[in-house]
Structure 1
Amino acid sequence: MATANPSPTRISAPLWTLWLRFEAAEPTALLGGILALKAGYHSYRSRLPGTDYSSGRDVAADKQGSAELASAVDLTMSTAAMIRYTGRLDKAARAKDPRLYTPAGPIIREFIGTLDGKTVYCYVLVGGKPLGVGADAGPDPGRDKSHLWHLHISIIRRFAADAAALDGLLSVLLGETLDAWRKRTQPTTPGKETTMATATEIAKAIMEQYKTPDGRTLAGSLDALLKPAGDNALGRQVTRSDTVPAARPPHHNADYGDPADPKVGNKQWTLGYALQAAVEASRSGSTLAAETLAEVRAVRAGQAAILAAIQGLDTAQVLRRIDDLAAEERARDAALLDALSRIESEDLAADEVVRLIGERLTSVSREQ
């Protein structure tokens, strides 16, 4: 049976929940304490002098959040458990795990435990210089030996009552994988696998919107498109044109068709030749333009996905960003296909089409 919060005005409900869930998961766990009327994070900010290291003297986020809540927890447990949980926190802290590092800053100031059962180990995530660490983050030796049997965690006061932030901390403690945490805390939307697709998933989704002249999708799969032996006709023509020289007109290639009637020929060869010429023309302007159209789209989609994730955009904003990118690419493709059709109808000379395609490809590289 869960124990009631002994001091709801001083211990936040999310912090008490963290303790209850940890107790349920670790058989040897005992609560060393949360609220203590002494210096540091175990106390509440309104009773501490401005010189206390947990008052906001060192870390601005300690000035935020309730001034009436304790913001630390001591977890007593067996030596084996101490080593396990200290190790998990250390690994996550050094990896800048997003469960401990939010866009608003680190969730915890420090943790103190042991990695081997013999030596006290402390790692400071933020505000290390005022403590003598020598950097904003890093190990801080010399803490009390009582931390060989109890794990101390100082929580930045801004997050003392933040249920989502403390759930991330508990996730690290209990050994949940980062992927599992993301799936659990980022609910799926009907019709979508997750709220934040990977760069590859977004790239493939965008490329499915592009069509070859005969109506097929540009990419049956990303892997197939990027392989010279892939099944997609346009992808095959692009990759071949960039690696195997195509025969030049008038009709040195027997596959082209009837020399007496050039309008009746192999249009895939015509497309391959035009694309090769465009790639060759654009290569002089930029090395990136020598990549296949599909590769450029994949790179741009990946950049859009990564930028959206860094900026913390929600699902709707990410999808709008991708839709905008797709619209730009569709407009560019329409112009390219129009140029190819115009050379076949003899509205434009071949060299003029090559120039137009080259300009459009190099404009893609300049936008990167």
Structure 2
Amino acid sequence: MLVILLVVLGEVLCQAQGYEVREIFHFIDTVCFYSLNIKGEAEGLFLEAGRDFRVRNNSFKLIDCIEHHEYCVERKIKSFPSVYYHGEDKMFEYTWSFTVADFVEFGIKMQSNNTKTISTLEDFELINSFNKPFYLLFYRENDKILSEFNYVDIFSYISGFYKSSNLYFATTSSKTISKLYHLPKIQTPILYNFSPNSTTRPSLKFPFTGQNIKEFIESTRCNNNFQITQSNFYEQRKCFDGKLLGISFIDKNNKTHISQISKHKSIMITLNAYNDTKFRYGFVDLNKFPSIGKKFHVYESYSFVIRDYRENKGIVDFGERFFRDTDEIYSVYEAVWNKSDVKEFVVMKKPRTIIRLRYLLPGIAVVVGFVYKIWVKQHFQYRQEV
């Protein structure tokens, strides 16, 4: 009886504020899409993802912020559309792409623990199948006596800060997994970063602290993941501030070759080893993600550009030029960083305003011609009347 009374009272209070009960209770383990157009394309994809059986433990709610304006203001939603995951005590912003696959994967990730325990090869292959960077903590059960604290719990706690990211975190004490990576010869515990597009496997050795685990994640998530996708763009973008970013574009209209990308990766790996972090590198497959070029203010098909994120200095276009070796690539980065003459390497990209003006001129000419014809016609009629 008391429960019924509380529910009725809650409904009265909610309706008095213009809300419905279901809109108050959905903020527990729920992915919410805040929209000004609930019939939009992205909104439809979101609802389709919510019907996937793999996210049945999550609620996917579409919120009409025109009808429930005060409600969205109360939740501090300032841009639309916006997607957030609401847990019991945390709120995570969704920065992945607006696709069914990403919505579903995000929902699965959010309803899982911060770290996954890997005990079989099937578990390992499942995480590998996401094709995302992941951090794997190897340890043996008797390793725990080496530490005064439970470093597995600390690793899980730190992982929670990256809950809504494209990064995955796992632990294992499985001998099968250890043998797969030849770990019997390596001292454990040890933390590895696996990236699907890197030739290196950065590691952090014991002893572990919350600080050095977080520093390791921060450095390797930026330096060891080179592929820029629609899903991880906003995460990667945070790594570029104050840096020079070299970007290779793979497109059917250019001749970018995998060997060129490998050369750029190699120089970045070398620089990272020396803790030289003023340069970043990434590659974009425009065949899969055609809109990403515009996010970098690249509006035509290029093989390689350098974008200066120190003070938004602009873009240097290298076209389809192939570099001989990593030394030449390093010289190019240094020349751009020091604002030296790079004419021997590159043809400078025209300012964006000039490019846009070039496309606008034909339209302006048509409008001027049309106005001129009207003026001539009216002037001729006026002279006839006179």
TM-score relative to the length of structure 1: 0.23
Q: Which has the higher contact order (CA 8 A, sep 6+)?
A: 1
- For normalisation by structure 2, the TM-score amounts to 0.22
Larger radius of gyration: 1
Name whichever structure is richer in helix by fraction. 1
